[in-house]
Structure 1
Amino acid sequence: MKKQLLLIAVAALLAGCDDAKEPVSFTPEMASFSNEFDFDPLRGPVKEFSQTLLNEKGEVTKRVSGTMSKEGCFDTLELHDLENNSGVALVLDANYYLDAETKEKRLRLQGKCQLAEFPAAGVTWDTDDNGFVVLATGKEMEVKYRYDEEGYPLGKSTTSKDEHLTVASTPSKDKRKKLDYTSLSTLNDKPLGSVKQTCDYDSHDNPLSCTLDVVDLSVSPQVTHKYSIKNTIAYY
């Protein structure tokens, strides 16, 4: 009897360990912001992070960085597109994100820290019952967003006048390697480009570094560009 009890206890302990190792789902804020602002979503109690995209020459082309509260809100978010010489730095202030330099109100929020409105562009965001942004509407534009059961962003579809742009992402079947994905972009149902990404991960199942093959399918012969991503992540 004692031996049976011991085996039951060990089995229960192992089952508890398995449960503890289940990957953490993506929060509505992390998933929605990454879907909207085009960066890789992260899991777990992230305190601050940066994602740097480099081209084949090792030159930085894009960089995203942010700090987060323990509740999972983006306290700050910086987006820099060096190729197009554009960027913005946002800082959380009550229910708005302000321009870090001018202190102008840029984005209005709903709830604690979810996207609600971009007044200057006339864009509003709607969420589902779980708090994920699923729809953005503007004067002549509509964007629909999709996620899987873990909150991983599966892409978006943008309709503007007579143009329909769709980005569909297929993540790895390994739940711990969601950022190993392939995606296909189409414009009016014609292939525009594809991406294949493969990453190395940390103990939180977040990517530390990745390689990307980006294929331009709109030209003949098709052209492949190779990129890499270097990430830094600090946790609470």
Structure 2
Amino acid sequence: MKKQLLLISLAVLLAGCDEEKGPVAFTPEMASFSNEFDFDPLRGPVKDFSQTLLNEKGEVTKRVTGTMSKEGCFDTLELHDLENNNGVSLVLDANYYIEAETQEKRLRLQGKCQLAEFPSAGVTWDTDDKGFIVRASGKDMEVKYRYDSEGYPLGKSTTSKDAHLNVASTPSTDKRKKLDYTSVSTLNDKPLTKVKQVCEYDGHNNPLSCSLEIVDESVTPQVTHKFSIKNTIEYY
């Protein structure tokens, strides 16, 4: 009986340790890329993923797809804005991301696979000592990026000449549901948009599907747009 009680006690202690540990943090690459390219960051050993944004009519408006190495680098990243009929398909090639169709060198990298420079746009990125992108600068433009202690992107502030755009996100207090967030955007301190997102999650604490509501506060009366997000995620 004593042996059984000891085993039960150990199991309880171990379960308690797992609970305290919580979900894995966001990597510098995942957090930085999602902050820069405006998609939801994912946790854990992601092999490939897609995020599809649909409007109220069920029409696809935006889609992001990516494949990742076991080390957490983006091997490929495709960004498609179907509303505006534009997009880009990037492929990792040594220390550059090249455009898949033209083979043009688009983005130069630093370290293993972090953004360093967008040569044709004259933009460079700076990282902190943990490898997260914290600043981008170019001609008459500067962007500052923010993250919480788990690497979750908290938004960014963009200053260009006389315009200052600030995006501030507040995630759920539940660490396992970080993509349940509210976000406020302002332009020169005037309200621009309010965003609210609520998601369903998988066992890795990543969103499988989300509802997204965007309130345009720049017009009178305010206009509300509702979207849904469908994600597919495969892990190593």
Please tell me the TM-score bracket, short chain as reference: over 0.9
**Is residue 2:27 matched to residue 1:27?**
yes
Partner of 2:72: 72
**Is residue 2:161 matched to residue 1:153?**
no
Partner of 1:96: 96
Give every structure 1 segment of 4 or more consecutive aligned residues whose post-TM-superposition deviation is greater than 6 Å.
Answer: none
Question: In the TM superposition, what is the alpha-carbon distance from 1:10 to its structure 2 partner?
Answer: 3.6
Question: In the TM superposition, what is the alpha-carbon distance from 1:17 to its structure 2 partner?
Answer: 3.5
Partner of 1:12: 13
**Is residue 2:171 matched to residue 1:205?**
no
What is the distance in 1 between the residues matched to 2:191 and 2:19? 41
1:175-194 residue pairs with structure 2 within 5 A? 175-194=175-194
TM-score by length of 2: 0.96
In structure 2, the gaps of 5 or more residues are none
Letter in 2 for 1:113: C
Partner of 2:141: 141
Question: In the TM superposition, what is the alpha-carbon distance from 1:14 to its structure 2 partner?
Answer: 2.6
Structure 1 SS opposite 2:146: strand
How many aligned positions are there?
A: 235
Residues 51-60 or 7-16, more deviating: 7-16
What is the distance in 2 between the residues matched to 1:6 and 1:50? 43
Q: Over residues 96-151 of structure 1, what are the superposed CA-to-partner deviations in whole Å (9 max), with x where a residue is unaligned?
A: 00000011100000010000000000000000010000000001100000000000
Structure 2 SS opposite 1:65: strand
Question: In the TM superposition, what is the alpha-carbon distance from 1:232 to its structure 2 partner?
Answer: 0.4
- What's the Cα RMSD here? 1.4
Structure 2 SS opposite 1:36: helix
What is the distance in 2 between the residues matched to 1:17 and 1:151? 20
What is the distance in 1 between the residues matched to 2:162 and 2:101? 37
Structure 1 SS opposite 2:18: helix
Letter in 1 for 2:36: E
Letter in 1 for 2:41: P
Letter in 2 for 1:67: T
Partner of 1:40: 40
TM-score by length of 1: 0.96
What is the distance in 2 between the residues matched to 1:117 and 1:19? 39
In structure 1, the gaps of 5 or more residues are none
What is the distance in 2 between the residues matched to 1:36 and 1:6? 49
**Is residue 2:121 matched to residue 1:121?**
yes
Question: In the TM superposition, what is the alpha-carbon distance from 1:11 to its structure 2 partner?
Answer: 3.9
What is the distance in 2 between the residues matched to 1:87 and 1:17? 41
Q: Over residues 13-39 of structure 1, what are the superposed CA-to-partner deviations in whole Å (9 max), with x where a residue is unaligned?
A: 33343256x111000000000000000
Structure 1 SS opposite 2:47: strand
Partner of 2:112: 112
What is the distance in 2 between the residues matched to 1:229 and 1:8? 43
1:165-184 residue pairs with structure 2 within 5 A? 165-184=165-184
Query: Identity of counterpart residues, as a percentage?
Result: 80
Partner of 1:214: 214
